[in-house]
Amino acid sequence: MTLTIATLLPSLQNTNGDAENAAVLAQRATWAGLDARVVAVESRDDLPDHVDAVVIGSGTDAALEAARTRLLELHDELRRWGTEGVPILAVGTGWELLSWGIELPDGTNIEGLGILPGRAVPHREGRITGDLVVAERGSRELLVGFENHARAYVGAEGSPLGRVRSGQGNAQGSGQEGVVMGEVIGTHLHGPVLAKNPVLADRMLRAMAERAGLDYSPGEQTLVVDGYADDARRAHLAAAGVDTESVVASSVVAPSSANEA
């Protein structure tokens, strides 16, 4: 069986390389001895017969309307995938488009697809950029990445991805980052996040494999690459002034699942 990872609208939603999270999943699956492929889905016509995971990257505000129009064609599939437990990772504006809606500075609103709770509203303090460190909810894992967003995310305080250790996250002073509903994750973490945080990638892969009746265990090459990721993470944490002793090595599986995040 071939695991299929769909990356949605990569021509519009890949400003920070976040669409490449799909390639991270596929490569790690291959290193584990599993067959995997990435399918770029620009419209409904590109949909494969079966999907095991979905990635939606971040795009520019100029592309919001076009991206929303195309995602609306996939609304029924996105809702079904979320209900069935298909892992979905949405980053930046890709996440905002799955929310209740996006409020723009001129007061106009873009209606979201309503897959995830909450909505995006303009930051009073302006654009937030910088390193972001998050203590994942339900585990000791610290997630790292770069945040670059002009909007706060409100209305989903009960289901964050984690607590902010350095940076701003969903809103200045909120102390929270991201949102999780079942196997659907929304986050501001750019990087791509799965390359910088292999534990999160492996958690998605285990969920994919379990649904497909397969076993997933990181391959030998994966452990080599994860050593490089750990070095990069430790440098990131040191630069952010976060205690590196609290880091869980990316080659060790954290005890929680995405459902517990």
What the chain holds in terms of domains, given with CATH numbers, is 2-260 (3.40.50.880)
pLDDT, residue 124, reads 82
| pLDDT tens sequence across 38-92 | 999 999 999 999 999 999 999 999 999 999 999 999 999 999 999 999 999 999 9
Distance separating the N- and C-terminal Cα atoms of the chain: 29
For residue 245, what pLDDT band results from cuts at 50, 70 and 90? low
Please, what is the average pLDDT of the chain? 91
Task: Give me the percent of the chain exceeding a pLDDT of 90.
Answer: 83
Q: Which residues contact 242 (CB under 8 A, 6 or more apart)?
A: 133, 142, 165, 166
Residue (of 57, 36, 53, 27) closest to 191 by Cα position: 57
Question: Which of the four pLDDT bands, split at 50, 70 and 90, describes residue 254?
Answer: very low
Query: Is residue 213 pLDDT above 80, yes or no?
Result: yes
Pairing mode, strands 2-8 and 53-56: parallel
- Other C-beta atoms within 10 Å of 239: how many? 12
* Strand order across the 101-103 sheet: 109-111, 101-103, 119-122, 151-154
Residue 259 in this model has a pLDDT that exceeds 80:
no
∠ at Cα 93 (253, 119), nearest 5°? 95
pLDDT for the residue numbered 138: 86
Using CA of residue 101, residue 260, residue 232, residue 87, what is the dihedral sign? negative
Question: Mean per-residue pLDDT for 162-178?
Answer: 94
Q: Give residue 260's pLDDT band: very low, low, confident or very high (50, 70, 90).
A: very low
pLDDT at 211 over 70: yes
Question: Which is higher by pLDDT, 253 or 240?
Answer: 240
Q: Give how far Cα 214 sits from Cα of 3, 52, 89, Å.
A: 10, 12, 21
- Token pair listed for 50: 């079966």
pLDDT digits over 193-208, tens only?
999 999 999 999 999 9
Neighbours of 135 (CB within 10 A): 18
The per-residue pLDDT for 18 is 96
Q: Are 213 and 41 in contact (CB under 8 A)?
A: no
How confident is the model over 112-151, as pLDDT tens digits? 999 999 999 998 878 999 999 999 998 878 999 999 999 9
Of the chain, the percentage scoring pLDDT greater than 70 comes to: 93
Q: Once rounded to an integer, what is the mean pLDDT over residues 211-235? A: 94
Q: Token pair of 59, please?
A: 């795009």
Q: List the beta bridge partners of residue 39.
A: 6
| Distance from C-alpha of 152 to C-alpha of 144, rounded to nearest angstrom | 19
